[in-house]
Amino acid sequence: MRQPARHSSWSAPGAGLVLVSLALASTAATAQDSPPVVDRASVRLGGYYASVDTDVRISDPSGFIGGTINLEDDLGFEKNKTVPRVRADFVFGEHQGLALDYYNIDRSSHQTLARDITYDGVHYGAHADVRAKLDFSFGSAAWRWWFGQGNDAYGVGLGAGWYRLKTALVGEGSYDPGQGGGQPVSVTTSSNDSAWAPMLQLGWRHLFDDQWRMYLDASGVRKNGGRISGHIYNAALGMEWLPLANLGFGLEYDYRQIKLHWNRSTYDADLDMTLSGPSAFVKLRW
């Protein structure tokens, strides 16, 4: 008597479910084993070796006060400056996080003028002895959203930037109220202004492997009106080497443009400062 054919319990639907389960498990394991493109928390400490070029333009409605001063050429400010910098990034959940940044540029000079300049209503002739100081600070906080998959992540951030500008100039000059014949004076003039402004950030992260990453960051701060207004733009391209789980090192190249306008009681002034150069930092991450 012919025996009926026996069907294996490994049916087509059952095999499909098993294969799908194995594929999902493999994908989950791979995702778990793969290093993240964006760290959950990190702090970067380093220095920015910046080439600085700074112009200050002064004018008033009457045209009596006017002229442009280059801080590096006219007042002897250093053209290259190492700027300390601190940055921190935190990711909460899957796609959102907080980005913090701070740096300070503090420069001063003692110079014998090679040409005549006019600043804050005072005329300083060639060969006048002047001391000058410029202290610029910038800090920002932004909430970021991260998108992408695989080895690439793209971020958009909205936040606020804070900037402060302190200046001082001491020297022997002459003051002319417009009547002819300047009066010799010893002058100390200073200012200290700060402001908050909205900020937009854009970012890209690429993971080569568990030790090497590349990134590109860009940001912009702009404020209209008020005692001190203007914009600050920044772009940075960098590479990170992460030999240990919680420690890494990085190099990047930065370009920054800072253009600010003062509304003073007797005149207006514009600051045009450009910084560009490499940065090196140590990165602590979790």
Among 7-21, 72-86, 100-114, 156-170, name the one with the lowest average pLDDT.
7-21
Q: How far apart are CA 174 and CA 156, in angstroms?
A: 52
Task: Give the pLDDT confidence score for residue 176 in this predicted structure.
Answer: 58
Q: pLDDT tens digits for 111-158? A: 999 888 877 777 788 888 999 999 999 999 999 999 998 899 999 999
Q: At 136, list the tokens.
A: 């610029």
Q: Residue 111 domain-assigned?
A: yes
Task: Give the pLDDT confidence score for residue 175 in this predicted structure.
Answer: 62
pLDDT higher than 50, residue 4: no
Task: Give the pLDDT confidence score for residue 207 in this predicted structure.
Answer: 96
pLDDT higher than 90, residue 13: no
Q: Residue 4 domain-assigned?
A: no
Q: Residue 275 domain-assigned?
A: yes
Count structural domains, the chain.
1
CATH, residue 70: 2.40.128.100
Q: What angle do CA 201, 101, 57 make, to 5 degrees?
A: 80
More confident call, 150 vs 19:
150
Q: Residue 3 domain-assigned?
A: no
Q: How far apart are CA 46 and CA 152, in angstroms?
A: 25
Q: How far apart are CA 212 and CA 33, in angstroms?
A: 16
Query: What domain range includes position 23?
Result: 12-285
